[in-house]
Amino acid sequence: MKGLKKSLDCIKNPKLQLTKNQMGYYYFLLGILYSESNIHKSENYMQKAIDFGLKFKQNIAIAKLNLAIYSLSIGNKKKAELLLSEAKKMDIRGLLHDQIQIIKIQMKKMNLGDKQNPYIRKNYLK
C-alpha cells in the first residue's frame, strides 16, 4: 500500500496527465487505498471510477462491492442490496462470492425485527 500511495502521489493533475480510461483506474486504486482508513473518501473515489468507466467486469464488481459496504455502513440497506446484486452479476469468475456472502450475513444482522442496530453510525442517517 505504501508503494501504491507513492506511485499515485506522482500524479499531480490526473485530468491533464491521464486518459479517461486511465483516470477510471486511478480513482479505482485511490478507492482501494482509502478503503481501510476512510470509507467516505473511498466511496467518492469508487463512484468516480465507475463514472469514468472500468474495463474489466471484475474491477466493476469490486467497486460496486465497496459501494455496497459504504451504503450498509450508513444504514442504506436497500441501496446496499441493489449494489450487491449488481456486483454478483459482474463477478463472472466467482472470486468475490465469499465477500458477498459475508456482507449479506451482516445485512441480516443489521435489523432484527423492529430493533435498530445500535452500531450503525447515527450521524449518517439523514
Q: What is the pLDDT of residue 116?
A: 56
pLDDT of 25-79, one tens digit each?
889 888 888 888 888 888 888 998 988 888 888 988 989 988 988 888 887 888 8
What pTM, to 2 d.p., does this model score? 0.77
Do the beta carbons of residue 67 and residue 76 sit within 8 Å? no
> What would the grid cell of residue 47 be?
463512484
The DSSP symbol for 115 reads P
Which residue has better confidence, 110 or 72? 72
> What would the grid cell of residue 28 be?
479505482
Q: Percentage of the chain with pLDDT > 90? A: 0
